[in-house]
Amino acid sequence: MMNILLFAVIILAVITSARLLRVFDLTAKLRGREPYEITESENNINAVLMLLSMVGMFGMFIFLTSKYYTIENGYMLPPAASEHGVEVDSLLELNFIVISIAFFLTQTLMLWFCYRYRYNQKRKALHYAHNNKLELVWTVIPAIVLTVLILRGLIVWNHSTSRSDDPNRLVMEFYARQFDWTARFSGQDNILGEANFTMINDNNTLGLITQETIHEQIAILDSALIKEERRRDEAFLPQPEYDKVLTSIRRLKFQIQRVLEFESQIAEKKFTTANDDVVLQNEIHLPVNRIIDLNLRSQDVIHSAYLPHFRVHMYCVPGVNTNFTFKTIMTTAEMRRKLGNPDFNYLLYCNNICGNAHFNMMMTIVVDTEEDFQKWITGQKTFSQQMAERLSGVDESLVEPDSSEVTPADSNVNTLGAPTALK
């Protein structure tokens, strides 16, 4: 019933509007003019309203700017906690100044022209087709202003995305996946260990390459391959399921072959740089007044690392390593005092919608003094220590297949979990 009443109200409103327009037309004809003719008094009223709208618009602009875009309110952004963040804020402020000048100038001219050149029967319009000097002015001046803004922006951008050669820099990585962040710090060598997606498993989510992870991955993949080949040879599967098994076997063999290539390079490359890396989740610490050489990777979809207080924003793209360089200038304790908020924490967000739990993809970051950071990082376990603790508590029979249970169909697999010949 309510829908019917709503529909009736809409129909009546349309009919009423049409009848009112008809009344206006008849009124105009009774006054001796056509409905589409606009009188001089009506033009004068519209012209004055244009000037009043200019006053109202400029007044609102000034009010909102003074209320929200002030130093006390952090320029509509949280206070900058990085060295380049101060430059970014300065560049943003310059952009707002240029935009504001252009806004006041163009709107004033436009609305004044609406008032000054309103319709007047005693005045004849002049057709002014072309003026080279005027066109040169409004082309060259914006071009110069935009060139200055773009060049200054490129300088800041190149500085932020170029790797630092400071020997005291901290090299680290943020690894994104649905829906969490993993941080990795370089160890004493200040070099992040090599990683590859073919090395990823439940125990090695970053795909780090070490001698231990290579042997472990071969064993895990080999065990998975045996299970899939048994399903193919022993189970009566429907054709779609059988095709999936064949696809799985083909992918596993390809992955095993790639990992075997890493194994063949052990004597040459050693793969020891990842041993002293520190891998953490949930919360990390950073030192103040040090350059952070940040590497970014993604496991699944495109994510976006966003640290608003540090003015850091960079995409994490699967298969592509991106980077960002910044220098912290304010500890968490200092920022808490500055904001008057004892519960404040720096946060790492994902600023690109990456799935249904995107909103919950955050990591807490604590900026410490150099002394406090060294105490914290020294107390963290390295990747090799984590591997040793985990492997010491793992039953090897759960990782490597028992040779006594290998069927003739599995005879292409040796006891080390490395296939000697792939079908």
Confidence of residue 254 (pLDDT cuts 50, 70, 90): very high
- The candidate with the shortest Cα–Cα distance to 338, out of 79, 27, 53, 94, is 79
Q: What is the signed CA dihedral for 218, 219, 223, 226, rounded to 10 degrees?
A: 60
As a three-state string, the secondary structure of 108-142 is HHHHHHHHHCCCCCCCCCCCCCCCHHHHHHHHHHH
Beta strands in 219-290 (DSSP E): 278-281, 283-287
pLDDT for position 213 = 92
Is the separation of the CB atoms in 305 and 292 below 8 Å?
no
Confidence of residue 252 (pLDDT cuts 50, 70, 90): very high
Residue 389's SS3 state is: helix
Q: What is the per-residue pLDDT across 47-75, written as a single tens digit (0 to 9) for each?
A: 899 889 999 999 999 988 887 776 555 55
Is the separation of the CB atoms in 174 and 347 below 8 Å?
no
Read off the pTM.
0.74
pLDDT for position 404 = 38
Q: What is the per-residue pLDDT across 174-218, written as a single tens digit (0 to 9) for each?
A: 999 999 999 999 988 889 999 999 999 988 999 999 999 999 999
Q: Are strands 170-177 and 322-327 parallel, antiparallel or unpaired?
A: unpaired
Helical residues (DSSP H) of 69-189, grouped into ranges: 83-116, 132-161
Per-residue CA distances from 234 to 33, 222, 228, 406, 423 (Å): 95, 18, 10, 14, 17
Q: Which residue has the higher pLDDT, 2 or 168?
A: 168
Token pair, residue 44, equals 């004068």
- In angstroms, the CA 368 to CA 374 distance is 9
pLDDT for position 347 = 95
Token pair, residue 181, equals 């962040």
Spatial neighbors of 162 by CB under 8 A, at least 6 apart, are: 325
How many percent of the chain have pLDDT more than 70?
89
Identify the residue whose tokens are 């404040």. 344
Phi, psi of 28 (to 5 degrees): -65, -40
Residue 402, pLDDT > 50, answer no
Residue 284's SS3 state is: strand
User: Residue range 318-347: average pLDDT?
Assistant: 93
Q: What is the per-residue pLDDT across 138-171, written as a single tens digit (0 to 9) for each?
A: 899 999 999 999 999 999 999 899 988 888 999 9
Q: How many CA atoms lie within 13 A of 75 on its CB side?
A: 17
- The candidate with the shortest Cα–Cα distance to 311, out of 283, 336, 330, is 330
- pLDDT mean across residues, the chain: 86
Q: Which CATH number fits domain 162-207+274-392: 2.60.120.260, 2.60.40.420, 3.30.460.80, 3.30.70.890?
A: 2.60.40.420
Residue 414, pLDDT > 70, answer no
Q: How many CB atoms lie within 10 A of CB 82?
A: 23
